[in-house]
Chains A and B, each alone.
Chain A
Amino acid sequence: MAALPRRIIKETQRLMQEPVPGISAVPDESNARYFHVIVTGPEDSPFEGGLFKLELFLPEDYPMSAPKVRFITKIYHPNIDRLGRICLDILKEKWSPALQIRTVLLSIQALLSAPNPDDPLANDVAELWKENESEAIRNAKEWTRRYAMDN
Chain B
Amino acid sequence: MGNCFKRSTTDDISLLRGTDSVRETSSDPVGPPSYQEALSVQSTPPLYHPSPSVTRSVTQLTEEEQIKIAKRIGLIQHLPTGKYDGCKKIRECVICMGEFMVGDALRYLPCMHTYHVTCIDDWLMRSLTCPSCMEPVDAALLTSYETN
Interface residues of A (CB under 8 A from B): 5-7, 10-11, 61, 63-66, 92-98
When the two chains form their complex, are residues B97 and A64 in contact, meaning their CB atoms are under 8 A apart? no
When the two chains form their complex, are residues B94 and A98 in contact, meaning their CB atoms are under 8 A apart? yes
Asked if B52 is at the interface (CB within 8 A of a chain A CB), the reply is yes
| Chain B 121-133 interface 0/1 with A at a Cβ cutoff of 8 Å (1 = within) | 0110010010110
Q: With A and B bound together, what is the CA distance between A64 and B126 in angstroms?
A: 8
Residue in A65, A92, A93, A98 whose beta carbon sits within 8 Å of that of B95 in the complex: A98
When the two chains form their complex, are residues B98 and A6 in contact, meaning their CB atoms are under 8 A apart? yes
| Chain B 114-126 interface 0/1 with A at a Cβ cutoff of 8 Å (1 = within) | 0000010011001
**Contact of A7 with B97 at beta-carbon distance under 8 Å, contacts A96-B131, A98-B131 already known:** yes
Residue in A6, A93, A97 whose beta carbon sits within 8 Å of that of B123 in the complex: A97
When the two chains form their complex, are residues B95 and A63 in contact, meaning their CB atoms are under 8 A apart? yes
Residues of B within 8 A of A6 (CB): 96-98
Residues of A within 8 A of B49 (CB): 64
When the two chains form their complex, are residues A64 and B123 in contact, meaning their CB atoms are under 8 A apart? yes
**Given known contacts A63-B95, A96-B132, A98-B94, what 9 new A-B pairs fall within 8 Å (CB)?**
A5-B96, A64-B52, A65-B52, A66-B53, A95-B53, A96-B131, A97-B119, A97-B131, A98-B132
A contacts with B: majority SS: loop
B contacts with A: majority SS: loop
Interface size class of B (residues with CB under 8 A): 10 to 19
Q: With A and B bound together, what is the CA distance between A94 and B97 in angstroms?
A: 20
Residues of A within 8 A of B132 (CB): 96, 98
When the two chains form their complex, are residues B95 and A97 in contact, meaning their CB atoms are under 8 A apart? yes
Asked if B134 is at the interface (CB within 8 A of a chain A CB), the reply is yes
When the two chains form their complex, are residues A96 and B129 in contact, meaning their CB atoms are under 8 A apart? yes
**Contact of A92 with B53 at beta-carbon distance under 8 Å, contacts A64-B126, A98-B131 already known:** yes
Q: With A and B bound together, what is the CA distance between A93 and B123 in angstroms?
A: 13
Q: With A and B bound together, what is the CA distance between A11 and B49 in angstroms?
A: 25
Q: Would you give the shortest CB distance from A67 to chain B, in whole angstroms?
A: 13
Residue in B52, B97, B119, B129 whose beta carbon sits within 8 Å of that of A10 in the complex: B97
Please name the residue on chain A nearest to B123 by beta carbon: A97
When the two chains form their complex, are residues B94 and A95 in contact, meaning their CB atoms are under 8 A apart? no
When the two chains form their complex, are residues A96 and B134 in contact, meaning their CB atoms are under 8 A apart? yes
Return 30 A-B CB contacts under 8 Å, by A number: A6-B96, A6-B98, A7-B96, A7-B97, A7-B98, A10-B97, A61-B55, A64-B49, A64-B52, A64-B122, A64-B123, A64-B126, A65-B52, A65-B53, A93-B52, A93-B53, A94-B134, A95-B52, A95-B53, A96-B129, A96-B131, A96-B132, A96-B134, A97-B94, A97-B119, A97-B123, A97-B131, A98-B94, A98-B95, A98-B131
